[in-house]
Chain A
Amino acid sequence: SLSDYNYELYHSLEEIQSWMQHLNQTHSAFIQVFSIGRSYEGRPLFILKLGRKSRAYRRAVWIDCGIHAREWIGPAFCQWFVREALLTYKTDPAMRKMLNHLDFYIMPVFNVDGYHFSWTHDRFWRKTRSRNSRFRCRGVDANRNWKVKWCDEGASVHPCDDTYCGPFPESEPEVKAVANFLRKHRKHIRAYLSFHAYAQMLLYPYSYKYATIPNFSCVETAAYKAVRALRSVHGVRYRYGPASQTLYVSSGNSMDWAYKNGIPYAFAFELRDTGHFGFLLPEMLIKPTCTETMLAVKNITMHLLQKCP
């Protein structure tokens, strides 16, 4: 049951996949789990579709966590989001509206090979685990492998670097699988949310250049409201703005690709903290981090549902 699974612990890939399958069986009125492909090492890439089952055409929101393997708070939040959605559907009018009117496609662990490797070998691994025939180094930065100004500023051509862009765009099967899914469903996916750590920021396009997006007004307002709501929970401050200015310029990332490919509202969260623990955010901070982030995501979703074209 939902109450048996401990959402305030970090879970291995196997545990997360078992949890997904369990929900698929026990909450079939709201959840459907399916695979969109296989990772480099052959692991299934599971997506969890969340929403009140309906045959009517509905808009959708895509959420992915764990593009970078060592950012464990991301997958923890993806699981938390699902739990909260199911627990509060009956009692929270906003959640009820969200699940009645939208489908959420949630990928709790994007980089399954890297995540597994960070559990078993190297806690601070970032990239995928693909092999390179010419170099001894493995892996590609899955957030530099998308076809949007690919391998330009902020990405590396060297396979041993942590921001290696890959031999070509969408070389990583994980990136390819998600890109194919988003292309196929782009007409009804209205928002793209990607969860990373750490910096305490809410970012929107562009990341690859210094420029203002055409729908800046709605996006900026949504971001402002989201960080204000987030701060109201525990007083934690998040910065927000275009990624290129707020964080740094990086090319080939998923948020920019999603935006360029017709998803009008694309955001990337950099969750807690700002360096005291860094990637080693203690398990006792999972609950406050996820609680405040939940409010931010609900805010963004409701704003986009009600206020944005």
Chain B
Amino acid sequence: HLYNNRYAGDKVIRLIPQTEEEAHALKKMYHQLKVDLWQPGSISYVSEGTVTDVHIPQNASRTLLAFLQEAHIQYKILIEDLQKALENGSSLRTQRNRR
């Protein structure tokens, strides 16, 4: 596996906070979980209506998803398993060369 399979189980989740309260809660959670923010470029940009895409490791995704469900914050899972997405997007030749 590429990158020693480190991204197995990682997810990319899209959230669009509908209120400033939701945005504030998300920002706090992002800081706590030290998420990898795909967009926007910085947590400081997150506000009401901002499209945020976060890459979250497998062990933290349960915490985040539980929080989102409890707070009734809508979300969409863009990438269910980042390792699979990574390997599906590369040709076999590229993967072989890189390994």
Residues of chain B within 8 A of A277, CB atoms compared = 79, 85, 89
* Nearest CB of chain B from residue A4's CB, rounded to whole Å: 14
Residues of chain B within 8 A of A141, CB atoms compared = 41
| B91 at interface by CB-CB < 8 Å | yes
Interface residues on B, range: 20 to 34
* A162/B41 in contact, CB under 8 A: yes
**Distance, CA A275 to CA B77, complexed state (A):** 11
* A248/B45 in contact, CB under 8 A: yes
* A163/B91 in contact, CB under 8 A: no
Q: Contact check: which of A12, A276, A280 meets B86 at CB < 8 Å? A: A280
**Distance, CA A283 to CA B94, complexed state (A):** 10
**Distance, CA A12 to CA B94, complexed state (A):** 10
Known: A10-B90, A10-B94, A280-B79. A248 touches B3 (CB 8 A): no
| A199 at interface by CB-CB < 8 Å | yes
Name the residue on A nearest B40 (C-beta): A248
How many of A's residues come within 8 Å of B, CB to CB? 29
| B42 at interface by CB-CB < 8 Å | yes
Please provide the chain B residues from 7 to 57 with a CB less than 8 Å away from any CB of chain A in the complex.
7, 12, 14, 36-42, 44-45, 51, 53, 55
Give chain B's interface secondary structure class: mixed
* A163/B3 in contact, CB under 8 A: no
**Distance, CA A278 to CA B85, complexed state (A):** 10
Known: A123-B7, A283-B89. A278 touches B38 (CB 8 A): yes
Known: A121-B3, A123-B86. A278 touches B53 (CB 8 A): yes
Residues of chain B within 8 A of A122, CB atoms compared = 3
Q: Contact check: which of B3, B42, B78 meets A123 at CB < 8 Å? A: B3
**Distance, CA A277 to CA B44, complexed state (A):** 24
Residues of chain B within 8 A of A276, CB atoms compared = 78
Residues of chain A within 8 A of B38, CB atoms compared = 124, 275, 278-279
Residues of chain A within 8 A of B51, CB atoms compared = 275
Chain B residues engaging chain A, CB cutoff 8 angstroms? 2-3, 7, 12, 14, 36-42, 44-45, 51, 53, 55, 78-79, 82, 85-86, 88-91, 93-94, 98
25 pairs, CB–CB < 8 Å, chain A vs chain B? A9-B93, A10-B94, A119-B98, A123-B2, A123-B3, A124-B36, A124-B38, A141-B41, A154-B44, A154-B45, A162-B37, A162-B41, A162-B42, A275-B14, A275-B38, A275-B51, A278-B38, A278-B53, A278-B78, A278-B79, A280-B85, A281-B89, A282-B90, A283-B90, A283-B94
